[in-house]
A and B are shown apart, each in its own frame.
Chain A
């Protein structure tokens, strides 16, 4: 079935970088944008950016521009989210999600299980 499986929880020091993986299965990886969304403790959802796995094109939310890097490995059907310059307020659950339709931004219909990143 269609699913996204993310890497495990990480603990980082302030100023460090983190990289979270998201392995896709059950669909053609290159056909659908992969989005990254985070949720800080007790707060709402925050969109971080998307990557087109086919061409590697990316689009980032302005507040993360310069700190976030989205990449992919098409041979492994895996997307990655890197975040640098970590601060305590980056402590959050980070989700990857597949877009609903091919080659566009229509909504996120399949979500990973989430990866907790703690900065302390």
Chain B
């Protein structure tokens, strides 16, 4: 199993541009998550999904959108990129609710200038 994969690894955007961060997991996990990590600030949840077709907001959803058309994929869309969205983005997945272990992808480092 490849686990959780993310693309791209790095990206530089100009203010106002849009992009989609891709996330795929091959572990047949129901739950998927997007976190962002800012320097010295820990990770914060952006959006999460409990299964195909179901998504919900996390702690910091503004400026982002998600969709979950399949169990495997959970893309994160940035519309009208802003410097405040410069961060490292991590996708994660877990089998079910009730505190199952979460597995993380390698991250996407995004810079908005």
Question: Do A and B come together as binding partners?
Answer: no
Interface residues, chain A, with chain B CB atoms under 8 Å away = none
